[in-house]
């Protein structure tokens, strides 16, 4: 082969390597993997999880399906970990997609941990990846229907959650006063939605979109445990009171995320989409209104 031709080919291959498109997934569970399978073909997948072992297990599954992956341990509630993740991901190429499916639930953690991870950590993630997201890129934050069960907040609280510097969020008086784990979770998920709205303008300046998805009861290993555990009767009654009369699947959330992150979703940014089988509608106006007394 002509040496000049070989040199040109080597340069092209090196450029292709440097310009690899990267999909970042934080929280390598069922929903996150379902989204990755739909948006990451031909791209490099960075899997970040609180448990490195969990991330590596997900990487093995995805690699066996043809995806190129690398893994990193990341505590979503740690700004240092998020900054390290940003450096790691941008070192692999240009970040075109960010998916956050990490978090803790009211039954898993105390108030302080829920607020640190779900409220503060997600806000930092949005801000830091908003600085490096590639033109034409997109992001999806997995929030929760629980944020829609919180009463309407005063506008000054909405603005504080949407626009306060991340390091000031946990010291907001109405946040630091929370003592109930469910309220901590609901405020965190409401904050996710508001931060997405606030960040959409900044992501838009880079030609990128950012949205949130609020799932209802989705069948994952954790949900299956709940449906077969001591609180199963309450969950089954909730499902029966929903218009859909069933739980959802990670693939259905993945389909919605794929739309938002595709060329067909380019006019959608700063939005939150409920995917809950009508559970929230029933909570406020239908057969599930009895839950208001406990929430």
Show the domains of the chain with their CATH numbers. 19-293 (3.40.50.720)
| Catalytic pick among 43, 92, 183, 189 | 189
* 189 carries an active-site annotation: yes
- Sign (positive/negative) of CA torsion 275, 102, 53, 128? positive
Q: How far apart are CA 98 and CA 54, in angstroms?
A: 19
* 20 carries an active-site annotation: no
Distance from chain centroid for Cα 245:
25
**Parallel, antiparallel or unpaired: strands 94-100 and 138-142:** parallel
Q: How far apart are CA 106 and CA 128, in angstroms?
A: 26
Q: 234-245 pLDDT, tens per residue? A: 889 999 999 999
Question: Which pLDDT value is given to residue 107?
Answer: 82
| Catalytic pick among 50, 120, 185, 187 | 185
Candidates 36, 191, 207; CA nearest to 125 is: 191
Question: What is the CA angle 44-191-211, rounded to 5?
Answer: 40
Secondary structure, 3-state, the chain? CCHHHHHHHHHHHHHHHHCCEEEEEECCCHHHHHHHHHHCCCCEEEEEECCHHHHHHHHHHHHCCCCEEEEEECCCCCHHHHHHHHHHHHCCCEEEEEEECCCCCCCCCCHHHHHHHHHHHHHHHHHHHHCCCCCCCEEEEECCHHHHHCCCCCHHHHHHHHHCCHHHHHHCHHHHCCCCHHHHHHHHHHHHHHHHHHHHHHHHHCCCEEEEEEECCECCHHHHHHHCCCCHHHHHHHHHCCCCCCCECHHHHHHHHHHHHCHHHCCCCCCEEEECCCHHHHHHHCCCHHHHHCC
pLDDT in tens, the chain (295 residues): 444 544 444 544 554 445 799 999 999 999 999 999 999 999 999 999 999 999 999 999 999 999 999 999 999 999 999 999 999 999 999 999 999 999 998 888 999 999 999 999 999 999 999 999 999 999 999 999 999 999 999 999 999 999 999 999 999 999 999 999 999 999 999 999 999 999 999 999 999 999 999 999 999 887 787 777 777 888 899 999 999 999 999 999 999 999 999 999 999 999 999 999 999 999 999 999 999 887 6
In the chain, the N- to C-terminal Cα span, in Å, equals: 72
Question: Which pLDDT value is given to residue 295?
Answer: 67
- Sign (positive/negative) of CA torsion 30, 145, 48, 34? positive
Task: Give the phi and the psi of residue 142 in degrees, each rounded to 5.
Answer: -85, 110
Task: Give the phi and the psi of residue 169 in degrees, each rounded to 5.
Answer: -60, -45
- 68 by Cβ neighbours in 10 Å (0-12 / 13-18 / 19+) ranks as middle
Q: How far apart are CA 73 and CA 51, in angstroms?
A: 6
Task: Give the phi and the psi of residue 196 in degrees, each rounded to 5.
Answer: -60, -45
């Amino acid at each position: 082969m002509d040496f000049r031709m070989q040199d040109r080919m080597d340069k092209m291959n090196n450029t292709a390597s440097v310009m690899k498109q990267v999909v970042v997934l934080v929280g390598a569970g069922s929903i996150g993997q379902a989204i990755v399978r739909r948006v990451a073909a031909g791209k490099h997948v960075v899997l970040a999880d609180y448990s490195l072992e969990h991330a590596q297990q997900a990487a093995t599954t995805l690699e066996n399906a043809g995806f190129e992956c690398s893994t990193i341990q990341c505590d979503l509630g740690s700004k240092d970990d998020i900054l390290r993740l940003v450096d790691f991901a941008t070192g692999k190429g240009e970040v075109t997609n960010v998916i956050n499916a990490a978090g803790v639930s009211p039954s898993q953690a105390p108030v302080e941990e829920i607020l640190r991870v779900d409220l503060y950590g997600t806000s930092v993630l949005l801000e830091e990846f908003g600085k490096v997201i590639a033109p034409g890129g997109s992001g999806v934050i997995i929030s929760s229907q629980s944020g829609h069960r919180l009463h309407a907040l005063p506008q000054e609280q909405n603005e504080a959650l949407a626009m306060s510097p991340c390091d000031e969020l946990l010291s907001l008086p109405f946040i630091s006063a929370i003592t109930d784990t469910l309220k901590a979770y609901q405020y965190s998920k409401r904050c996710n939605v508001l931060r997405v709205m606030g960040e959409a303008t900044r992501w838009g300046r880079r030609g990128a979109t950012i949205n949130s998805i609020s799932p209802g009861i989705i069948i994952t290993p954790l949900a299956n445990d709940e449906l077969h555990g001591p609180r199963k009767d309450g969950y089954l009654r909730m499902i029966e009171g929903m218009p859909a009369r069933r739980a959802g699947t990670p693939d259905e959330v993945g389909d919605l995320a794929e739309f938002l992150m595709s060329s067909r979703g380019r006019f959608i940014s700063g939005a939150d989409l409920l995917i809950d089988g009508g559970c929230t509608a029933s909570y406020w106006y239908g057969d599930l209104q009895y839950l208001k007394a406990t929430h």
